[in-house]
């Protein structure tokens, strides 16, 4: 088993390195953002080398987390199960765990949730995307083994690597030593293995989509190109500011030093020391030479157009929304925003499907431990509902006017369902309340009667 653990780690290393890179890019880690470490084109441009990083990656991921991962709740029709959910929230801070799961998965494509028992309490923690390898046949949600690689460091900086191997009954502990993993006696009985008190593997994958890809997997190279263009542009502007000096003719760079001797120096040293240029004159008063600064002209329109095109593709192919572009567009309206959100909502819905499946497995694990502990049972498929609300800025004034129109032409419940102003959980109550109020309003004269009265008073039509 020890050599198998090491072989799996080595085979998985390229994938782990890629996930680390994505997470490092999200955090703007200089080790993973290429523009921070690129060398100047030449030593002459070292002083004006500019490195600009536009953090599209974090904008896209944070937008998704705020939109569909910031308000995740679990509810049950069973009172004692709701009490259990409240206890889990109190002990584990489920709100934060769920939000971070969405963040990790959106950035890298996958994250992991560990469920474990300690002092007769159910605990959970999220595990880094690159730390777990699953052994499975066709469904990652039904693995036969899970390998969790992690390390610890002492205050002196000494690192120790470990691997916990999970199957459907127990967890085995290993530590890295002398080029291989060996059993580590971390179990409570002093051995390297102990039961984990569940009947399935208690590490649950949380996927961003079926391909296990992050939202920016396809656009990270475009982000690098955007950074390079911005950096080059800024560098050129810095270089062109009074940098190029054209000198022609005869420039006098001779001066008398402290010893009374005439000394010839180079043009750069002369300018650095004296800051002036002396050209001789002929008998008619004409200079023997002159100097002037040259400016580099840049086609800023073309550069801005290229950057705008990159920006558009970055947000579009990452299935996100460029708030800057929408807010700067004078013609942006509710429908425009809704249309722009179609890709983001489709992507969020896919992530929601996989997140719900992960949560069902998590509650299945919890139910298994409750059976051992002699507590009441529940059906994770039926008795617990995962609610993932969407959060997005709403134009209240426009939405209120739209709701009034919808109420005139659609059934009340349908109008409230479409409206941006009403939460899904409030639709039934508000629709019922609105219909009751409408029934109490005084009814006007019958429209057909009014039409007959108009006909009676109208002038007769001459044949």
Per residue in 64-106, pLDDT tens?
999 999 999 999 999 999 999 999 999 999 999 999 999 999 9
Q: Is there a domain that residue 425 lies in?
A: yes
The residue ranges of DSSP E strands in 228-378, in sequence order, are: 244-249, 251-252, 254-256, 262-264, 278-279, 289-294
Question: Quick check: 23 and 107 in contact, CB under 8 A?
Answer: yes
Q: Are strands 110-118 and 251-252 parallel, antiparallel or unpaired?
A: unpaired
Number of independent structural domains in the chain: 1
Q: Is there a domain that residue 233 lies in?
A: no
Please give the Cα distance from 76 to 120 (Å, whole number). 23
Q: What is the pTM of this model?
A: 0.76
Q: Is there a domain that residue 293 lies in?
A: no
Question: Quick check: 70 and 53 in contact, CB under 8 A?
Answer: no
- Pick from 96, 359, 119, 109: nearest CA to 214: 109
- The dihedral sign for the CA sequence 159, 165, 166, 171: negative
Identify the band that residue 463 occupies on the pLDDT scale cut at 50, 70 and 90.
very low
In terms of pLDDT, which residue wins out, 38 or 111? 111
Check residue 219 and give its pLDDT: 96
Encoding tokens for residue 334? 């509710």
In terms of pLDDT, which residue wins out, 391 or 272? 391
In terms of pLDDT, which residue wins out, 140 or 298? 140
Q: Is there a domain that residue 429 lies in?
A: yes
Among 161-165, 201-205, 272-276, 343-347, name the one with the lowest average pLDDT.
272-276
Check residue 163 and give its pLDDT: 96
Check residue 430 and give its pLDDT: 76
Rounded to a whole number of angstroms, the distance between the first and last alpha carbons of the chain is 105
Q: Is the pLDDT of residue 253 over 90?
A: no
Identify the band that residue 450 occupies on the pLDDT scale cut at 50, 70 and 90.
very low
Q: Is the pLDDT of residue 117 over 70?
A: yes
Please give the Cα distance from 298 to 305 (Å, whole number). 13
Check residue 196 and give its pLDDT: 96
Domain with 438, as residue range(s), is 399-443
Question: Quick check: 6 and 174 in contact, CB under 8 A?
Answer: no
Please give the Cα distance from 341 to 335 (Å, whole number). 10
Question: Quick check: 207 and 104 in contact, CB under 8 A?
Answer: no
Q: What is the mean predicted confidence (pLDDT) over 30-52?
A: 80
Q: Is the pLDDT of residue 197 over 80?
A: yes
Q: Is there a domain that residue 414 lies in?
A: yes
Q: Is there a domain that residue 156 lies in?
A: no
Identify the band that residue 248 occupies on the pLDDT scale cut at 50, 70 and 90.
low
Which long-range contacts (C-beta less than 8 Å, at least 24 apart) are formed by 159-168?
A: 163/5, 163/9, 165/1, 165/5, 166/196, 166/201, 166/202, 166/203, 167/201, 168/144, 168/198, 168/199, 168/200, 168/201
Please give the Cα distance from 8 to 33 (Å, whole number). 28
Identify the band that residue 320 occupies on the pLDDT scale cut at 50, 70 and 90.
very high
Check residue 429 and give its pLDDT: 78
Q: What is the mean predicted confidence (pLDDT) over 386-412?
A: 77
Q: Is there a domain that residue 283 lies in?
A: no
Q: Is there a domain that residue 171 lies in?
A: no
The CA dihedral of 112, 117, 119, 123, to the nearest 10 degrees, is: 30
């Amino acid at each position: 088993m020890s050599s198998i653990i090491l072989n799996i780690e080595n085979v998985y290393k390229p994938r782990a390195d890629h996930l680390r890179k994505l997470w490092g890019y999200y955090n703007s880690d200089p080790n993973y953002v290429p523009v921070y470490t690129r060398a100047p084109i030449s030593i002459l441009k070292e002083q004006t080398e500019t490195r600009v990083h536009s953090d599209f990656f974090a904008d896209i991921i944070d937008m998704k987390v705020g939109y569909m991962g910031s308000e995740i709740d679990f509810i049950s029709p069973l009172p004692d199960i709701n009490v259990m959910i409240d206890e889990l929230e109190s002990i584990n801070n489920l709100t934060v765990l769920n939000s971070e799961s969405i963040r990790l998965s959106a950035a890298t494509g996958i994250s992991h949730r560990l469920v474990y028992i300690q002092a007769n309490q159910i605990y959970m923690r999220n595990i880094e995307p690159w730390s777990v390898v699953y052994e499975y046949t066709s469904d990652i949600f039904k693995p036969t083994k899970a390998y969790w690689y992690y390390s610890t460091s002492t205050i002196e900086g000494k690192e120790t690597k470990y691997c916990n191997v999970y199957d459907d009954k127990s967890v085995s502990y290993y530590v890295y030593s002398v080029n291989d993993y060996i059993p580590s006696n971390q179990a409570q009985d002093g051995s390297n293995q102990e039961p984990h008190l569940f009947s399935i593997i208690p590490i649950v994958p949380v996927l961003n989509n079926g391909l296990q890809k992050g939202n920016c997997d396809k656009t990270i190279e475009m982000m690098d190109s955007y950074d390079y263009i911005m950096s080059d542009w800024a560098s050129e502007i810095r270089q062109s500011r009074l940098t190029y000096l054209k000198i022609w003719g005869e420039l006098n760079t001779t001066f008398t030093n402290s010893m009374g001797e005439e000394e010839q120096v180079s043009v750069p040293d002369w300018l650095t020391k004296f800051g002036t240029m002396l050209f001789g004159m002929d008998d008619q008063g004409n200079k023997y030479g002159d100097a002037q600064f040259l400016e580099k002209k840049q086609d800023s329109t073309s550069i801005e157009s290229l950057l705008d095109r990159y920006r558009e593709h970055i947000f579009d192919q990452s299935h996100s929304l460029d708030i800057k572009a929408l807010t700067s567009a004078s013609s942006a309206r509710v429908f425009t925003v809704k249309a722009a959100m179609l890709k983001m909502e489709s992507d969020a819905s896919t992530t929601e499907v996989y997140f719900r499946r992960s949560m069902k497995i998590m509650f299945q694990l919890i139910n298994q431990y409750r059976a051992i502990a002699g507590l009441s049972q529940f059906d994770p498929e039926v008795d617990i509902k995962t609610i993932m609300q969407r959060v997005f800025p709403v134009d209240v004034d426009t939405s209120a006017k739209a709701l009034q129109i919808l109420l005139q032409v659609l059934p009340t419940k349908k109008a409230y369902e479409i409206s941006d102003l009403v939460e899904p959980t409030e639709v039934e109550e508000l629709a019922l309340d609105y219909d009751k109020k409408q029934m109490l309003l005084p009814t006007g004269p019958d429209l057909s009667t009014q039409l007959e009265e108009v006909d009676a008073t109208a002038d007769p039509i001459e044949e």
